[in-house]
Amino acid sequence: MTFPRECWYVAARADELGDGLAARRILGTSVVLYRLADGSVAALEDRCAHRPYPLSAGHRDGDRIVCGYHGCTYDPDGTCVLIPSQDKPPLGARVRAFPVHLSGPLVWVWMGTPGGARLRPPPATPELTPGQGWSCNGARRDVAANFLLLHEHYLDLTNVFEMHADMVPPGIEALPPLEEVEVSEVSVSYVRTLPSAPLAPWEAAAAGLDTDEAFSRRETGTFVTPGLHRQTYSIIGADGPVFELVRLHGFTPQTDRSTRVFLQLAWRGSAVATDTDRRLAEVFGAMADRDAAALEAMQRCLDEDETPRHYVNVKADRAALRARRIVHSMIEEERGR
Ligand code: FES
């Protein structure tokens, strides 16, 4: 499995977790998530310490999980506290517990070195927290492709003319080159400004504005961490932004060839329509369907290539290539440890 582990990933949306036990596959590991009485979330390896049986197939006893096979019972920190057939659990009987962080609608999990989570907080997502005029919605889907293909896809939006022509403002026939690609050791971002043009129908509907008027747009895309990609899109009038959209993608590898995608949209504007929520969900849901189809086709091509092929890079790949290098160097560093 080839993905960095020393990193926070989105494990679930907060509203997915109720009274039950939620089984998830994260970085090739089976994890069971459940909500505790105080509202926090526990994440344990989804394997009983006694036999290879999933804890998620058991049941809850308050904040504890009872294995559905012989009844071993676990605290939320993974300690086995009870074995029905003997007085005391054997020393060291436990399963791994993973640190969890709740932030707005997202539940983050740390699958890396125990103790490492304290050194790095999960990425900030202020747009997803109520206040400052932001509204947001979210959805999740599974894409049968490697998570790095997804990062690269969203760092090169020149695919928009072929794949999402209805998203392009009228009159714009080519994306201007990236103004800036900013690179740090662990992240990469690009910035691009589009020339003034009337609004595409989806923009007008979402922003509550008239299609006759012309606006410029500024977009940015950031590989924040291997677990999060962030895009912003601002429609700018004479006095500044009239509509701002943030598209966050939590990319959580399940396996080398499967990624759970948490798409969160946040928006604000001076004339936002009452049904912007529904319209954005429809537009970006349809876009995500087309993206997923292309990404899964690419993964199938990679699987069919009998030997690794060399694919040509073009200028628009600059940010994507940098992200790939960051991920590879993180993996190498973790292997070196
Ligand atoms: S397998 Fe879980 S208690 Fe035996």
Q: Report the phi/psi class of residue 311: left, alpha or beta, with left for phi > 0 and alpha for psi in -120 to 50.
A: beta
Backbone angles phi, psi at 257, to 5 degrees: -120, 20
Q: Tell me which residue range forms the domain holding 111.
A: 8-119
Other C-beta atoms lying within 10 Å of the C-beta of residue 190: 25
pLDDT of residue 10: 98
Does one domain contain both 29 and 156? Answer: no
**Total number of domains in the chain:** 2
At 83, which helix (H) or strand (E)? none
Is 277 among the domain residues? Answer: yes
Measured between alpha carbons, how far is 216 from 240 in angstroms, rounded to an integer? 10
Does one domain contain both 289 and 198? Answer: yes
For 68-77, letters b (16+ CB in 10 Å) and e give beebbbbbbe
Last residue of a domain, one of 91, 119, 147: 119
Q: Measured in whole angstroms, how far is the alpha carbon of residue 118 from the centre of its chain?
A: 21
At 308, which helix (H) or strand (E)? none
Pocket of ligand 1 (CB under 6 A): 48, 50-51, 53, 67, 69-72
Does one domain contain both 232 and 200? Answer: yes
Last residue of a domain, one of 81, 99, 119: 119
Measured between alpha carbons, how far is 123 from 27 in angstroms, rounded to an integer? 18
Is 211 among the domain residues? Answer: yes
Measured between alpha carbons, how far is 116 from 101 in angstroms, rounded to an integer? 13
Q: The domain spanning residue 309 has which CATH number?
A: 3.90.380.10
Is 290 among the domain residues? Answer: yes
User: CB-side exposure of 164: number of CA atoms within 13 Å?
Assistant: 22
Is 1 among the domain residues? Answer: no
Q: Tell me the best of 72, 73, 83, 95 to mutate to test the pocket of ligand 1, counting ligand atoms within 8 Å of each CB and taking the most.
A: 72
Nearest CA owner, ligand 1 atom 3:
70
Q: In what order do the strands lie in the sheet with 41-45?
A: 22-26, 29-35, 41-45, 97-98
Does one domain contain both 61 and 148? Answer: no
Is 55 among the domain residues? Answer: yes
The amino acid sitting at 281 is: A
Does one domain contain both 178 and 326? Answer: yes
Is 311 among the domain residues? Answer: yes
Does one domain contain both 106 and 142? Answer: no
Nearest CA owner, ligand 1 atom 1:
51
Does one domain contain both 144 and 171? Answer: yes
Measured in angstroms, how far is the CA atom of residue 79 from the centroid of ligand 1?
14
Indicate which atom in ligand 1 lies nearest the CA of residue 83.
3
Q: What DSSP letter does each residue of 103-136 carry, written as one string? A: ETTEEEEE-SSTTGGGGSPPPP-GGGSSBTTBEE
pLDDT of residue 130: 73
At 328, which helix (H) or strand (E)? helix 318-336
Indicate which atom in ligand 1 lies nearest the CA of residue 68.
2
Owner of token pair 């006095």: 239
pLDDT of residue 1: 65
Is 106 among the domain residues? Answer: yes
Indicate which atom in ligand 1 lies nearest the CA of residue 51.
1
User: Mean pLDDT, the chain, as a whole number?
Assistant: 92
pLDDT of residue 254: 98
Q: Report the phi/psi class of residue 108: left, alpha or beta, with left for phi > 0 and alpha for psi in -120 to 50.
A: beta
Does one domain contain both 25 and 115? Answer: yes
Evaluated on CA atoms 89, 117, 14, 10, the torsion sign reads negative
Does one domain contain both 77 and 137? Answer: no
Last residue of a domain, one of 98, 119, 140: 119
In sequence order, the 6+-apart residues with CB closer than 8 A to the CB of 67 are 48, 50, 53, 55, 58, 73, 74
Does one domain contain both 167 and 22? Answer: no
The whole-number mean pLDDT for each consecutive block of 10 residues of the chain, a chain of 337 residues, reads 92 95 98 97 98 98 98 98 96 96 96 88 88 89 97 85 84 74 80 89 89 89 94 92 95 97 94 88 94 96 88 82 91 87
pLDDT of residue 306: 82
Is 2 among the domain residues? Answer: no
Nearest CA owner, ligand 1 atom 4:
70
pLDDT digits (tens, 9 = 90+) for 68-113: 999 999 999 999 999 999 999 999 999 999 999 999 999 999 999 9
Q: The domain spanning residue 69 has which CATH number?
A: 2.102.10.10
Measured in angstroms, how far is the CA atom of residue 58 from the centroid of ligand 1?
10
Indicate which atom in ligand 1 lies nearest the CA of residue 58.
2
pLDDT digits (tens, 9 = 90+) for 261-315: 999 999 999 888 888 999 999 999 999 999 999 999 999 999 998 888 888 888 7
Question: Cα angle vertex 115, ends 109, 117, to 5°?
Answer: 35
Indicate which atom in ligand 1 lies nearest the CA of residue 67.
2
Does one domain contain both 212 and 302? Answer: yes
Q: Tell me the best of 50, 82, 83 to mutate to test the pocket of ligand 1, counting ligand atoms within 8 Å of each CB and taking the most.
A: 50
Measured in angstroms, how far is the CA atom of residue 89 from the centroid of ligand 1?
12
Does one domain contain both 112 and 136? Answer: no
pLDDT of residue 177: 67
